[in-house]
Structure 1
């Protein structure tokens, strides 16, 4: 009983922060519930088989706009990864949100990390369940060690 009172006391002491976190958590949960399935449905079945993806094209943009877009994209991905991590304990699609955040960001080793996550049976099963409901072909997971195939050539 003392733990409950201590938790309630902690909430009352930090009431302002709680009122900022609760709506943000609810918004991220609703956005991930609506946006993630749509993104999963839009992916081509061989998305994870491609060795690389094309970076955000400059297309004759001003360099400052390009830098702002790349930073914004990576910041969005980081927020999604952090939100997904929180959703592992809170309501929401935690693992799928983390995967989507990783897919948005650019960093070294990204494709190997994506492959390691997508090869997990539960993750692939969940993604393909969403695709099956939308009458889309299942995603094809990447091979276990794509870099070994390149070395054998």
Structure 2
């Protein structure tokens, strides 16, 4: 038995967005959800346990040609922005929104990034979730030293 309120809502949404677009959005949401279920553990498990320590050196592509290094940084920042936007969308759609946003932020380069990462990772629920995931894969827990 159809629910009149749901039918009304669906017809209102379809008056603004085509059915094909809604199907594409639903498919994209499922793909992003499954993709993050695979990518997030792989990324978080590969991080060194002291990655978020302020003393940890972060030199990426240092020994490469300057053009390759610039191209690599551009691609890394674009991927970070995609992860950040996907994570934001996952706050409202199925998926691991906060962890995806954290990975996006860690890929991007901007002033104050390290402090923001430490603040996000330092949240007890986020840190315990990440460390439980790392424990399942036999990696040491992330360590956040107090400042």
With normalisation by structure 2, the TM-score equals: 0.84
Total equivalences in the alignment: 142
1:120 corresponds to: 123
Structure 1 stretches of at least 4 aligned residues deviating more than 6 Å after TM superposition: none
Alignment of 1:29-48 (within 5 A): 29-48=33-52
Q: Find out whether 1:87 has 2:105 as its counterpart.
A: no
1:54 corresponds to: 59
CA 1:108 to 1:6, structure 2 compared with 1: closer, same or farther past 3 Å?
same
Structure 2 CA distance, aligned partners of 1:43 and 1:100? 11
1:25 CA drift (Å): 1.8
1:2 CA drift (Å): 4.6
Alignment of 1:3-152 (within 5 A): 4-11=7-14, 13-15=16-18, 16-51=20-55, 52-57=57-62, 59-60=64-65, 63=67, 65-143=68-146, 145=147
Structure 1, unaligned runs of 5 or more: 146-153
1:12 CA drift (Å): 5.3
Structure 2 CA distance, aligned partners of 1:48 and 1:124? 11
With normalisation by structure 1, the TM-score equals: 0.81
Structure 2, unaligned runs of 5 or more: none
1:57 CA drift (Å): 3.0
